[in-house]
């Protein structure tokens, strides 16, 4: 068991580590781009891929080469310019697989619908045809020398016996990875974990998981999948993707690193900048309360919380995850719920040396100002200091 460098963790975090390592497969440029009203240009894809490569992810799913010439060119250029394994998506269609091979990717991700509703009303096919086409596509991809991943799409809504049948069929022709996609986000952690375990009984391939966030369970499902035997998690930066999105890169990586004590290989200090880049290029804003990368993730206003954090950040932050670990900064915000500790801290940072009574007076003004739905800026704070009569700014020390 990993020894935690923190005296406070004698509760749930003192338990065993369920897994020691896990691989990160990033699909920001593929499933992430399927976010409604989002489209990455060639330059966007190259910039994001370079940032992901610098962050040391294991796999970058760069796109769907058969989609267009521009897409194929971007995927090929990413494959040629990054150290991470580049993955290209392909349907169980010969020309799709050929396009992925031509793009020079190191991994080809072949997928086919396996739930009856999708087989009948999306593929307009039969179970027998899906199995035959899947086997043929995996054989074609494997013959190229690339790693091959097969996804039984909509696995969580697929008849378990048929799921086992198709997994065994592609296993026999040399598939390297079986991805288990919770395509419509209906999985729950325990059930999804048991599905991973079940699939593992029918293949010698390594298992990868792809979870959607329709019920807010994507991160929990992905991590539970690893607890039950998966080696790799598919994620997207800021959780962007179809409908409610995917398991979020930042949440999955930091939970694996900080809560499980596992090694993802990711440079976590790059996470905040990566989030900003993807938000800018995708035109999808990051909610302020977004875990890990939201503007409020390491911000404190409540008097009790702010006072504790000023004394010791581990009082009201996870402790095992700090802002420095993700390339962010802590912020103590002045507002309606502010206490004297935070006001003193801000005044001293602004160069004042207030008395206890002066701090109390400024705190009253801060609360009243914020209570009127006004923002307490540095200029407002200085004005309050002047009204109270704090005119003793500390002199700057010069060398």
pLDDT given for residue 397 in this prediction: 39
Q: What is the pLDDT of residues 231-242, one digit of tens each?
A: 999 999 999 999
How many domains does the chain contain in total?
2
Same domain, 231 and 274: yes
Q: Which residue, 256, 282, 308, sits at the end of a domain?
A: 282
Same domain, 226 and 331: no
Does residue 398 sit within a domain? no
User: Rounded mean pLDDT of 99-118?
Assistant: 98
Same domain, 41 and 129: yes
How is residue 184 annotated by DSSP? T
User: Rounded mean pLDDT of 376-386?
Assistant: 79
Same domain, 376 and 261: no
pLDDT given for residue 266 in this prediction: 98
Domain that holds residue 121: 20-282
Q: Please determine, for residue 192, whether its predicted confidence score (pLDDT) is greater than 90.
A: yes
pLDDT band at 3 (very low <50, low <70, confident <90, very high): very low
Q: Please give the residue that has the higher pLDDT: either 346 or 257.
A: 257
User: Rounded mean pLDDT of 18-39?
Assistant: 96
Q: Please determine, for residue 361, whether its predicted confidence score (pLDDT) is greater than 60.
A: yes
pLDDT given for residue 141 in this prediction: 98
User: Rounded mean pLDDT of 133-147?
Assistant: 98
Q: Please determine, for residue 155, whether its predicted confidence score (pLDDT) is greater than 90.
A: yes
What is the pTM (predicted TM-score) of this model? Answer: 0.90
* Closest to 222 (Cα-Cα) out of 164, 265, 179: 179
**Strands annotated E in 161-269:** 177-182, 206-211, 232-235
Same domain, 96 and 163: yes
CA distance 383 to 1: 53
Does residue 397 sit within a domain? no
pLDDT given for residue 318 in this prediction: 84
pLDDT given for residue 112 in this prediction: 98
Same domain, 341 and 213: no
Mean pLDDT computed over every residue of the chain: 90
User: Rounded mean pLDDT of 71-99?
Assistant: 98
Same domain, 86 and 228: yes
114 close to 151: Cβ distance less than 8 angstroms = no
Same domain, 227 and 196: yes
Same domain, 121 and 231: yes
How is residue 285 annotated by DSSP? P
283 close to 44: Cβ distance less than 8 angstroms = no
pLDDT given for residue 382 in this prediction: 83
pLDDT given for residue 394 in this prediction: 53
Does residue 92 sit within a domain? yes
Q: Please give the residue that has the higher pLDDT: either 378 or 269.
A: 269
Does residue 292 sit within a domain? no
Q: Which residue, 282, 315, 331, sits at the end of a domain?
A: 282
User: Rounded mean pLDDT of 90-103?
Assistant: 98
Does residue 11 sit within a domain? no
Q: Which residue, 236, 254, 282, sits at the end of a domain?
A: 282
Does residue 5 sit within a domain? no
Does residue 2 sit within a domain? no
pLDDT given for residue 134 in this prediction: 98
pLDDT given for residue 393 in this prediction: 60
Same domain, 100 and 225: yes
CATH number at residue 75: 3.20.20.70
User: Rounded mean pLDDT of 57-62?
Assistant: 98
DSSP assignment string, 4-37: PS-TT--SGGGS--S-SB-EEEE-TTTTGGGSTT
Cβ neighbour number for residue 183 with a 10 Å cutoff: 25
Q: What is the pLDDT of residues 281-305, one digit of tens each?
A: 999 999 999 999 999 898 876 766 7
Helix (H) or strand (E) holding 50: helix 42-54
Same domain, 117 and 25: yes
pLDDT band at 339 (very low <50, low <70, confident <90, very high): confident
Same domain, 134 and 231: yes
Does residue 135 sit within a domain? yes
């Amino acid at each position: 068991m990993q020894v935690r460098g923190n005296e406070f963790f004698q509760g749930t975090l003192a338990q065993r580590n369920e897994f020691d390592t896990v691989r990160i497969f990033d699909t920001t440029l593929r499933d992430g781009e399927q976010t409604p009203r989002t489209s990455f240009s060639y330059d966007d894809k190259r910039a994001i891929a370079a940032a992901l490569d610098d962050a040391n992810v294991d796999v970058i799913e760069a796109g769907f080469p058969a989609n267009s010439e521009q897409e194929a060119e971007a995927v090929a250029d990413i494959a040629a310019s990054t150290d991470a394994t580049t993955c290209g998506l392909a349907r169980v269609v010969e020309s799709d697989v050929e396009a992925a091979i031509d793009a020079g990717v190191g991994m080809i991700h072949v997928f086919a619908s396996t739930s009856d509703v999708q087989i009948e009303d999306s593929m307009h096919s039969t179970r027998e045809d899906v199995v035959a086409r899947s086997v043929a596509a995996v054989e074609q991809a494997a013959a190229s020398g690339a790693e091959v991943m097969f996804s039984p799409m909509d696995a969580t809504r697929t008849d378990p016996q048929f799921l086992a049948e198709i997994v065994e069929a592609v296993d026999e022709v040399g598939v390297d990875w079986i991805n288990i996609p919770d395509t419509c986000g209906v999985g729950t952690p325990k059930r999804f974990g048991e599905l991973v375990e079940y699939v593992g009984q029918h293949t010698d391939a390594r298992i990868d998981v792809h979870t959607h966030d329709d019920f807010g369970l994507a991160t929990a499902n992905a991590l539970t999948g690893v607890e039950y035997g998966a080696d790799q998690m598919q994620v997207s930066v800021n959780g962007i993707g179809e409908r409610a999105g995917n398991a979020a890169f930042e949440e999955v990586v930091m939970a694996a690193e900080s809560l499980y004590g596992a090694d993802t290989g990711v440079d976590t200090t790059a996470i905040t900048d990566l989030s900003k880049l993807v938000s800018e290029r995708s035109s999808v804003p990051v909610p302020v309360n977004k875990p890990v990368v939201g503007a409020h993730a390491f911000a404190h206003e409540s008097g009790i919380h702010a006072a504790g954090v000023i004394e010791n950040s581990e009082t009201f932050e996870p402790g095992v995850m700090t802002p420095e670990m993700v390339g962010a900064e802590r912020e103590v915000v002045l507002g309606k719920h502010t206490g004297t500790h935070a006001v003193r801290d801000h005044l001293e940072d602004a160069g004042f040396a207030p008395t206890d009574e002066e701090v109390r007076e400024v705190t009253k003004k801060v609360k009243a100002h914020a209570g009127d739905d006004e923002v307490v800026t540095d200029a407002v704070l200085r004005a309050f200091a002047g009204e109270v009569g704090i005119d003793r700014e500390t002199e700057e020390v010069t060398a």
